[in-house]
Structure 1
Amino acid sequence: MEKHIVIIGSGFAAYQLVKSLRKLDIAAPITVITADSGDDYSKPELSHVFSRRQTAGDLIKQTADEFAALQQIELMNYTEVQSIDTKAKIVKLPDHQISYSKLVLATGASSLVPAFEGNATNEIATLNSLAEYANQQDRLASAQSVVVIGAGLIGTEIAMDLTLAGKQVTLCDRATRLMPTLLPSFLGAELYQVMVENQVRVKLPSTVQAVNRHHQQLIVQFDDQSYVEADVVIAAMGLKPNIKLADDAGLAVNQGILVDEQLRTSAQNVYALGDCAEFGGKVRAFLQPTMLSAMALAKTLLGTPTSVKLPASLIKAKTPWFPLSLSGKTTGAQTRWEVTRDDNGYIAKAFDRETGTLIGFVVSHEQQKSAFPLLRQLPAD
């Protein structure tokens, strides 16, 4: 089929691409193949479903059928792709195969769960997709105590939300501070204090060794021989790009699927987008770069090669006790900080020690209104 675009995946990246394509061409044949339901939902909302007492169904903006009808696409849900033949330009499914003119891998990323010891490692919950939350929502609703492993952005957001929902929460990480890849030490320390004041038990640094079930309780054991009992254990330890399908097809992969500035993989007419793609040496898991990449890729797929240009991206943390917006390089030894604080919150600016150039910032509370003027001063991502 001429100009047949096939997209593997149905997450934010895939559906942003579909919407971008339809803004440019209402008639181009598009097929989306996904292993899950294909329902359209807002993934960031998973960080505060507990305090809002939302079910997985509450998060669905459009069902798969509604999305497919509105966007005029063929959507094949609950369908596993077995392999890709990039020479024949074929996607092989369990019972048939589909030809493509352009193929986009938007396979996303999976929650990283280390191989802990113990008899209950298979009971560790992850919340990286609507399906994962749907599988765990009843357990989480009835749980009184929860251990969250991983004190990065997502783990911290989830820990706050669970506490607001009335759960007893323990947040642990082997790092020495909260959100260690995003916050400088002085802000990490203040966030720690805020969490403790709001009755979150924070164990830092603390490495989980085992997760065992003992009767009705899960027992999380740490390297210092201490342990915590909980009804549910959640892993929020980061994401691992889903690259196996690409790797098996002979595409160049590293941490993610390697793409150039036009999101082209090492195979002709095959592209990658979103959490699975490694562009410029980075896997960019936030919404803004994915949206901009989808817009550029749509033009490329429809015959106008367009390079991805990414400005500095703004990250807004859904941390109601300590609301934050940040961008750029906000950690590192070569950073000099200029900090102002008043009743409205923090404005913390990061400068390169050698050049004096603004390279990042963190703003909190009412000072978040300063984010966009600062963002415009940062170099492109």
Structure 2
Amino acid sequence: MIQRTNDTLIVCGHGMVAQRFLEELVSKASIPYRNIIVFNGETAAAYNRVQLSALLSGETDEESLPLKPEAWFARHGIQVHHNEAVHAIAPHNRTVTTSTGKVYSYSTLVIATGASPARLGIPGEQLNGVMNFRDLNDTRALIELSQRQQRAVVVGGGFLGLEAAEGLLRRGMDVTILHRSGHLLNRQLDPESGKLLSDALTARGLKIQTSTSPTQVLGQESVRAIQLNDQTLITTDLVVIATGITPNRDLAQNAGLACGRGIQVNTQLQTSHPNIFALGECCEFNGETFGLVEPGYQQAKTLACVLAGTTKGAAYQPSETATRLKIGGIPVFSCGLQAPDEHTESLISQDITTGGYNHLLVRDNRLVGAILMGNTSQGPWYQALINDNVDIQSFRAQLPFGKPYCEAAA
């Protein structure tokens, strides 16, 4: 039986970006929907995924994770169906079918299905003890395993892999990080800052191997070792794969929507079907997909304006997104280019005493990249210079020292 309602908005997915979209939408003076229905494939309402690393390391608890209490949804008349994902979309009938077999009609559909962890594609990935670090259930499982296992190998030296490694180290495990690139955080840091970070994490007790990758996971039913591309074997009780994400596009692709790596959208976050929109990690805009929450928040704000009709000509315009994180107590900031080329100049400063490191990349008297370690307080100001394409010629010499010195010189 089709549950038909007029002026109904259905949202597929309930992660951080979907929740931000709901908050932006209900903040508008006029909401064009009498019914807002959210289908959430997880058992818990939207929670702060950024804090999963703190939960893994024991710095916070699950009670701090929910983004909004249940009363918030009731107050705004939003129906949330937990543990019930949308399994199929029929665009021409404007209906969705959920995992329970129920069929609902919509006037507008928003797909916010996020992404799934990338797989290594090697033998042994199916063994018990081979894990991801992506959601609350993964985190719960890693905490439980850390209480009865001693050794862990984390595959991936990006920010997610480093956070997983740091959390397991704090849980008392012996942790080895394997990273295919020549230095950690290679998408955010240059080789020098990557080495400084590696040295600092090694001093904390992590074992780090760069320029290496696994070829198979060994064991009968459970993992016992991992083999590397140089034939080295590392014995381990746990393998955490943190090598990136794959946009969840299948729901849209099976419905006939245009997809590349993700669900293709225009500047209004509209898919190839006029009544269906997508945002967050599952979408693709101008050939680009998104792995950070900040672009998703920008998309959520734009889409709320588009659907509420409150901002004439509302359009999503990507900006340089900064990576801000703290690994092993070391603040890291990165925005824009992280590798110099023949058209850039590098302004590099390093504080041997504190371990601080700054690498600013300049092109045609414009700041186009900033890498900071240690003291990252000037990061947001550098990000603004990058996004606003500011001419820095009048204070270029003072740029490495930060905003106060530059303002005095300008």
Question: Scaled by the length of structure 1, what TM-score is found?
Answer: 0.91
* 2:20 equivalent in structure 1: 16
Q: In structure 2, what is the Cα distance between the partners aligned to 1:242 and 1:119?
A: 20
Which one has the largest radius of gyration? 2
- SS of alignment partner, residue 250 of structure 1: coil
Deviations 1:202-224 (A, max 9, x none): 11111111112268762111111
| Structure-2 change in CA distance of 1:209 and 1:106 (3 Å) | same
1:223, 1:199 → 2: CA distance?
A: 24
Corresponding residue number in structure 2 for 1:351: 362
> Which among 192, 196, 206 is matched to residue 190 of structure 1?
196
Pair 1:202–1:64, CA change in 2 (3 A):
same
Residue 277 in 1 paired to residue 283 in 2? yes
Look up the match of 1:115.
121
Contact 1:146–1:234 (CA<8 Å) still a contact in 2? Answer: yes
Alpha-carbon shift at residue 190 of structure 1 (Å) = 1.3
Alignment check: 8 A CA contact 2:146 2:168 kept: no
Q: Is the 8 A contact 1:39 1:60 kept in 2?
A: no
**Equivalent residues in 2 for 1:318-333, closer than 5 Å:** 318-331=326-339, 333=341
What secondary structure is seen at the aligned counterpart in 2 of 1:378? helix
Instruction: Tell me how far 1:95 sits from its aligned partner.
Output: 2.6
Paired residues of 2:177 and 2:207 also in contact (CA < 8 A):
yes
Quickly say closer, same or farther: Cα 1:80–1:373, change in 2 above 3 A: closer
Structure 1 gaps, min length 5 = none
Kindly provide the amino acid, as one letter, of the partner of residue 360 in structure 2.
K
Find the partner of 2:104 among 92, 98, 107: 98
Question: Structure 1, residues 205-247: CA drift from partner, whole Å, max 9, x if none?
Answer: 1111111226876211111111111221111110100000010
Taking only the aligned residue pairs, the percentage that are identical comes to 24
Distance 1:119 1:52, change over 3 A: closer
- The answer for the alignment partner of 2:319 in structure 1 is 311
Q: Give the distance between the partners of 1:36 and 1:173, measured in 2 at CA.
A: 30
Amino acid in the other structure paired with 1:82: H
Change beyond 3 A, Cα 1:70–1:133: farther
Q: What are the superposed Cα offsets for residues 250-293 of structure 1, whole Å, 9 maximum, x if unpaired?
A: 11111111111110111111110101111232112222221121
Displacement, 1:19?
0.8
Unaligned regions of 5+ residues in structure 2, if any? Answer: 390-410
Aligned partner of residue 369 in structure 1, secondary structure = coil
- The amino acid across from 2:287 in the alignment is G
Greater displacement, 187-196 / 24-33 = 24-33
Q: d(CA) in 2 for partners of 1:66 and 1:132? A: 27
2: CA distance between counterparts of 1:119 and 1:74?
Answer: 38
Q: Which amino acid aligns with 1:219?
A: A
Pair 1:177 & 2:183 matched:
yes
Q: Which residue of structure 1 lines up, in the alignment, with residue 408 of structure 2?
A: none
Which position in structure 1 is the counterpart of 2:9?
5
Q: Secondary structure at the match of 2:348?
A: strand
Matches of 2:219 and 2:345, distance apart in 1 = 47
User: C-alpha distance in 2, partners of 1:62/1:24?
Assistant: 19
Q: 1:54 to 1:137 in 2, by over 3 A?
A: farther
1:26 to partner: Cα distance = 7.7
